[in-house]
């Protein structure tokens, strides 16, 4: 009887704390607070509360981990248990919060276009996707700002831009081509020197708030029972399931499947303790650390079935906030210059965000000299292309890391061919945020149906690296 009473009290406390967590997340989101006290729903206090086993374990609660958890719960509600482990609960180095928040349809690869189309649909209809059943809690906004991407091409890029345009139109994107004369007419402040053709997204492009999207994913997940752990993944234990016959070497090998994660867990009182969690399936959503997590599973060790490493590494990018009251403000599209320079409006007070991905690989080396990089590489391009920016001032900058797939710069989605209970959602190389709704849905579908249901993303499978079926998109920025 005492036990039942204690269990009921625990259940009631759990429910109260769940409601409080959701309230905290929403308040934090509305106030744009990025702090672990308010946004972490469960800081475990003791072993009694700690989830020692789960159906699905997700490593990383950036936008990919949160999206995957959202879709798992969207499809299965309480029928599946989901735990997310995150080492950096202030999100200080999470790529998701350091992005420019852009969404575009202007890609050259069919799957990227379709993922973006779904991303735009999802963002435009976020209120219905995030509505909590039997609750009067309104989903917080996502601050979507519709504004077309304007892609500029020199004579070398004209054919590519034109064929991208035809493909985008075929899939229902509202892309429009602009001749230099029409470009000047529409954007008179633009210097069109060296530009032979431009394409402009008339619908479903723009930017949104990454933090708001993430907190919506999180709120929905917490409401449906997703558990969050503040902890760092250290490694795995595997269970021997039998023997594996390798058809190439004709060897009989012990077949092991990872089923336990070893974590350093941070408890509510700040102490750290080593814990293990039993899982059935694992999702590697660890962003720039994805290859390290893969290595813990011997992926890339050269052993049979695990020869090829996960080709993801951090690539440094600076985002600058510049101020120039004479700039085009509301008339400013999300501009992608032929040099690769990206510019978008930040607010209505003459502030803009600028990013330039380096042409050479050397920039992957960490450099602390953001000021020199701006003056040498960005200011000349910017003031040449937009002469009214001649008095611009750099207000601040931040440094983020692309989760860069250094083989073909596209996402790696789906199960690993050897560790079939390990799913990857990695390597988005600068376009992950907008593809997170489609990527998370794809992972959840694959987990439930062993294949994709709504959008076939098989081209992003890990096996493409060994089967030499690389996928390139001519419009990766």
Q: Which residues bind ligand FAD (CB under 6 A)?
A: 59-60, 62-65, 85-88, 91, 94-96, 98-102, 232-233, 285-289, 293, 317, 319, 355, 400-403, 428, 430-434
Nearer to ligand FAD, 192 or 310 (CB): 310
CB of 244 to ligand FAD, least distance (A): 27
| Of 57, 78, 86, 70, the residue nearest 220 (C-alpha) | 70
CB closer to ligand FAD, 59 vs 80: 59
Q: Which residues contact 423 (CB under 8 A, 6 or more apart)?
A: 281, 282, 283, 284, 414, 415, 416, 443, 446, 447
* Cβ–Cβ < 8 Å for 221, 81: no
Choice between 150 and 192, CB closer to ligand FAD: 150
- Nearer CB in complex with ligand FAD: 192/344: 344
CB of 10 to ligand FAD, least distance (A): 27
**Residue 212: CA count within 13 A, CB half-sphere:** 16
Query: Sheet holding 102-103: strands in order across?
Result: 102-103, 206-207, 145-146
- Closest distance of CB 428 from ligand FAD, Å: 4
Give whichever of 175 and 426 is closer to ligand FAD, judged by the CB atom.
Answer: 426
Q: Which of 302, 320, 315, 297 is nearest to 432 (CA)?
A: 315
Q: How far is the CB of 53 from ligand FAD (least distance, A)?
A: 18
Residue among 222 and 288 whose Cβ is closer to ligand FAD: 288
Query: At closest approach, how far in Å is the CB of 284 from ligand FAD?
Result: 9
Could you tell me if 12 and 20 are in contact, meaning their C-beta atoms sit under 8 angstroms apart? no
Shortest gap between Cβ of 439 and ligand FAD (angstroms)?
9
> Are 414 and 461 a contacting pair, CB within 8 Å?
yes
Q: Minimal distance in Å, beta carbon 85 to ligand FAD?
A: 5
Q: Which residue's structure tokens are 């529409």?
A: 186
3-state SS, 129-188, equals HHCCCCCCCCCCCCCCEECCEEEEECHHHHHHHHHHHHHHHHCCCCEEEECHHHHHHHCC
Q: Which is nearer to ligand FAD, 78 or 92 (CB)?
A: 92
Query: What is the C-alpha end-to-end distance of the chain, expressed in Å?
Result: 63
Q: Least distance (Å) from ligand FAD to the CB of residue 205?
A: 11
Closer to ligand FAD by Cβ: residue 146 or 194: 146
Beta carbons within 10 angstroms of residue 395's beta carbon: 13
How many CB atoms within 10 Å of residue 196? Answer: 16
Least Å distance between CB 138 and ligand FAD? Answer: 25
The Cα–Cα gap between 344 and 49 comes to: 46
Q: Which is nearer to ligand FAD, 192 or 345 (CB)?
A: 345
- In DSSP terms, 334 is beta-bridged to 149
- Closest to ligand FAD by CB, 85 vs 335, is 85
CA distance 328 to 388: 8
Residue 380 C-beta: closest distance to ligand FAD, Å: 21
């Amino acid at each position: 009887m005492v036990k039942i009473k204690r269990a009921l009290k625990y259940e009631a406390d759990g429910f109260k704390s769940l409601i409080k967590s959701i309230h905290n997340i929403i308040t934090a989101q509305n106030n744009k607070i990025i702090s672990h006290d308010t946004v972490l729903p469960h800081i475990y206090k003791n072993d009694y509360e700690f989830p020692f086993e789960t159906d699905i374990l997700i490593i990383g609660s950036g936008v990919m981990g949160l999206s995957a958890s959202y879709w798992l719960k969207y499809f299965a509600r309480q029928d599946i248990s989901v735990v997310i482990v995150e080492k950096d609960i202030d999100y200080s180095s999470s790529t998701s919060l350091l992005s420019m928040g852009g969404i575009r349809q202007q890609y050259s690869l069919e799957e990227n276009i379709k993922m973006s189309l779904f991303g735009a649909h999802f963002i435009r209809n976020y209120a219905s996707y995030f509505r909590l059943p039997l609750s009067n809690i309104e989903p917080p906004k996502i601050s979507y700002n519709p504004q077309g991407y304007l892609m500029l091409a020199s004579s070398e890029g004209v054919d590519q831009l034109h064929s991208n345009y035809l493909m985008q139109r075929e899939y229902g994107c509202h892309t429009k081509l602009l001749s230099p004369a029409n470009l000047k007419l529409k954007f008179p402040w633009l210097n069109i020197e060296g530009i032979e053709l431009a394409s402009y997204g008339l619908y479903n492009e723009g930017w949104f708030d990454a933090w708001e999207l993430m907190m919506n994913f999180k709120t929905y997940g917490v409401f449906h029972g997703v558990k969050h752990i503040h902890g760092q993944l250290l490694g795995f234990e595997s269970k021997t399931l039998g023997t594996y016959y390798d058809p190439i070497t004709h060897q009989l090998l012990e077949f092991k499947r990872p089923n336990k994660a070893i974590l350093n867990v941070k408890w509510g009182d700040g102490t750290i303790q080593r814990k293990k969690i039993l899982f059935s399936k694992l999702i590697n959503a660890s962003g720039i650390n994805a290859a390290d997590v893969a290595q813990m599973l011997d992926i890339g060790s050269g052993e049979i079935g695990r020869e090829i490493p996960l080709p993801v590494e951090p690539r440094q990018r600076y985002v600058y906030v510049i101020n120039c009251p004479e700039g085009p403000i509301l008339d400013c599209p999300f501009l992608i210059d032929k040099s690769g320079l990206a510019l978008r409006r930040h607010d209505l007070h003459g502030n803009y965000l600028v990013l330039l991905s380096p042409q050479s690989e050397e920039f992957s080396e960490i450099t602390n000299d953001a000021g020199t990089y701006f003056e040498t590489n960005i200011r000349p391009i910017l003031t040449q292309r937009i002469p009214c920016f001649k008095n611009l001032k750099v207000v601040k900058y931040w440094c983020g890391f692309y989760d860069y797939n250094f083989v073909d710069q596209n996402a790696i989605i789906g199960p690993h061919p050897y560790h079939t209970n390990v799913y990857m959602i990695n390597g988005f190389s600068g376009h992950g945020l907008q593809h997170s709704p489609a990527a998370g849905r794809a992972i959840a579908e694959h987990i439930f149906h062993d294949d994709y249901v709504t959008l076939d993303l098989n081209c992003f499978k890990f096996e493409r690296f060994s089967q030499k079926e690389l996928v390139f998109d001519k419009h990766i920025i």
